[in-house]
Structure 1
Amino acid sequence: MEHITNPTQTTSTAKAQLYTLQNSKGMRVTISNYGGAITSILAPDQLGTLGEVVLGFDDMDAYTSPAYLANQPYFGAIIGRYGNRIAKGRFSLNGKEYTLATNNGPNHLHGGVKGFDKVFWEVEELPVKNALRLTYTSPDGEEGYPGTVQVTVLYVLTPDNELVIEYQATTDQATPINLTNHTYFNLSGGEAQDALDHLLCIAADRYVVVSEALIPTGDLPKVEGTPMDFQTPVAIGARIEQVPGGYDHTYVLKETGKHLKRAATVEDPLSGRCLEVCTTEPGIQFYSGNFLDGSLQGHGGRTYKKHYGFCLETQHFPDSPNQPAFPNTILEPGEKYHQKTVYRFYVCSQER
């Protein structure tokens, strides 16, 4: 029977609690009220054995340790108000220029110094839906953003091993909004030394070109014939050496519209686990864990070195408030922001 466990209180981080969703197939998803972070996902392999498929820690204290804060990997966290980068931490809106916190060189990244990943969310358990509803009120001026924003994130674990994440937000002033989740995946369940052998397919024929500072140039070239092409399954590591710094790019999904559409699939040949990502968003950020440096140890004592995990962050494009040609990310009073993403885990051989 599907159920939700009681929250677990941690020791020194007094307010951090853990909530676990579990379905009838035994799949388990653990989420914290701190940053709304997905701290653990246990999913079955081709033999039915459950294994840890995300990067994170067994102890919540590790999420606020000096080593973690120095590395800033954002493991599993809700990202906001604006996922990805805003150039020079500035944008103009309705004739007024706003200055945001700069926390990535001269640029603004993932909501700033204290983004949604570093706040405590209110959590409501919804046992009938096997779900958690997280809410947070972002005050006017937080990290430089205008308007008071009411944010709700719903996590649902379905009987079909789908983790559904649904985001909603309203505001009392016009403001940029681009919410996402920053979970790192490694589908091997701890058996592989990195994620480079995972086979990735992205339903995109264009990508967002970025500068050395990872700010969009405005160009959206075709991926065909380049190392950026994942239109058919390719190992993450097959051409990564041809991409300076590794993959950290937003892909422009072929299918447009605000309906739920397939964005990516991933297969781990070692375990037989597969992951399908569907979203209502226009893009997906593929990040190959380039800045993991081995300074952090997580689940089961695993060392999170370079490329140990990868992210597939469904979102709008980086720096959209400064890029008029990109899809709009400004939320107006009276409007409702809505984003839905589904991460479905399955055994590859069962669907061939």
Structure 2
Amino acid sequence: MKKLAFLFLIAGIACQQPAQKKEDALYAKADFESTIDGKTTTLYTLENAHGMKVTLTNYGAKIVSILVPDREGKLTDVALGFKSIAEYQTQDAGQGAVVGPYANRIANAQFELNGEVYKLEVNNHKANLHSGTQSFYRQVYEAKELKTADGPAVAMTLISPDGASGFPGNKEVTVTYTLTDKNELKIDYQATTDKACPFNLTNHVYFNLKGEGNGDILDHIVVIDADSTTEVLNNELIPTGKIVSIKGTDMDFSTPHAVGERIDSDMPALAVAGGYDHNYILNKDQEANELTFCASVYEPKSGRYMEVFTTEPAVQFYTGNFLNGTLTGRSGKTYEHRYGLCLETQHYPDSPNHPNFPNTVLEPGDTLNSTTIYKFSVKNN
């Protein structure tokens, strides 16, 4: 695994601790048992030897909660989300969800493939965002609990028919969540199709290492292994097709910076986005599908530390700029401006309309394979 030099931040000081204190449950499995479109939804729980616990639902293959210890061993939920299937239906189905078949934006809500123009739902300015309002995160997956050599797992499979949300091909997608004894939440994506189709799968989990609903993320210290980005010029955040350097700018996280340190900069790319909401191109071979270090996040008060590794070529770093207090989370606290951050490992936005971007078209007979790992530990200083 390359780029391990970026892990200097934790050398000798990051460690896992067994959980000592558990917070009261805010919901029950029964709150996630429902029927949607004739399919049954429920809640799944993964727990490892350190007491780390992850809950998942097969509605949208969502991460519901991630309970990890702070430096005192106290477990806290660090993922934003809701306490029932009903709330995921009525509030924001994207919280913690698998996004597909194409995450992020597609300009003018259309793309051309093999001589045919495919028109998609317009749901963000003039663009299509996250494949539309009824895409993968509104679907019920078939789920199966597994015991693996790496730890407990849940495999979730979705059959998406030709034309669903405007995308071609009968598509089969399996997302497997595994919780390891290294405090890693591993997400493996696999997909096939019987007709050529652009794919860009990710998870849209929001993190707050202070705990869900416990204030903003401006003091979180971030590192991202990226020196460039896809250029955007306005608040539609559609790439122009140019790759631009961010070295030495207020978007540069190649060395540690607090999120709030430069977020309100007058740098044009930040100003039009209202903060960080950009595709960071990772310093790696963009076509190799190699698992490498992507990013890290440290929250000084709790000591919680998260590392991200991925086979994807890029990551969308988003700082909850559109959170505005209209959503109420699991603990009854409202999600105010910048109360969560996302590190959405991905291919580039609008790739189907930019031949110079890494290919996202999955062909019949081929299999998409992608892995992302969120690894949790603590720093004791």
- TM-score of the aligned structures, taking structure 2 as reference length: 0.86
The aligned counterpart of 1:333 is 364
The aligned counterpart of 1:229 is 252
Name structure 2 gaps, 5 residues minimum: 1-27
Q: Does 1:22 align with 2:47?
A: yes
CA distance in 2, matches of 1:181, 1:11: 20
Q: Does 1:218 align with 2:238?
A: no
Cα 1:221/1:27, change in 2 over 3 Å: same
Q: Does 1:139 align with 2:161?
A: yes
Correspondence for 2:80 among 55, 64, 83: 55
State the SS of the aligned residue for 1:258.
Answer: coil
State the SS of the aligned residue for 1:345.
Answer: strand
Q: Sequence identity of aligned pairs in percent?
A: 50
Cα 1:284/1:138, change in 2 over 3 Å: same
CA distance in 1, matches of 2:213, 2:187: 27
Aligned residues: 339
The aligned counterpart of 1:285 is 316
User: 2:80 touches 2:212 (CA, 8 Å); kept in 1?
Assistant: no
Displacement after TM superposition at 1:218 (Å) = 1.3
CA distance in 2, matches of 1:159, 1:330: 35
Moved more, 208-217 or 183-192: 183-192
Counterpart mapping for 1:292-307 below 5 A: 292-307=323-338
Moved more, 274-283 or 241-250: 241-250
The aligned counterpart of 1:121 is 141
Tell me the alpha carbon deviations over residues 290-336 of structure 1, each in whole angstroms, 9 at most, x when there is no partner.
Answer: 00010111122221011000000000000000011100000001110
What is the root-mean-square deviation of aligned Cα atoms in Å?
1.5
User: 2:213 touches 2:331 (CA, 8 Å); kept in 1?
Assistant: no
State the SS of the aligned residue for 1:271.
Answer: coil
CA distance in 1, matches of 2:130, 2:365: 25
Name structure 1 gaps, 5 residues minimum: 1-6
Displacement after TM superposition at 1:222 (Å) = 1.2
Cα 1:73/1:269, change in 2 over 3 Å: farther
Tell me the alpha carbon deviations over residues 52-82 of structure 1, each in whole angstroms, 9 at most, x when there is no partner.
Answer: 10101122211112xx2xxx47110000000
Counterpart mapping for 1:316-331 below 5 A: 316-331=347-362
Displacement after TM superposition at 1:11 (Å) = 7.0
State the SS of the aligned residue for 2:245.
Answer: coil
Tell me the alpha carbon deviations over residues 211-255 of structure 1, each in whole angstroms, 9 at most, x when there is no partner.
Answer: 321100112211112110000010001111012111110100002
CA distance in 1, matches of 2:134, 2:232: 25
CA distance in 2, matches of 1:77, 1:282: 20
CA distance in 2, matches of 1:192, 1:31: 21
CA distance in 1, matches of 2:33, 2:198: 35
User: 1:189 touches 1:271 (CA, 8 Å); kept in 2?
Assistant: no
User: 1:79 touches 1:116 (CA, 8 Å); kept in 2?
Assistant: yes
- TM-score of the aligned structures, taking structure 1 as reference length: 0.93
The aligned counterpart of 1:42 is 67
User: 1:56 touches 1:75 (CA, 8 Å); kept in 2?
Assistant: yes
User: 2:93 touches 2:137 (CA, 8 Å); kept in 1?
Assistant: no
Cα 1:148/1:190, change in 2 over 3 Å: closer
User: AA paired with 2:125?
Assistant: G
CA distance in 2, matches of 1:159, 1:134: 21
CA distance in 1, matches of 2:163, 2:213: 45
Displacement after TM superposition at 1:190 (Å) = 4.7
User: AA paired with 1:246?
Assistant: G
Displacement after TM superposition at 1:191 (Å) = 8.0
Moved more, 204-213 or 301-310: 204-213
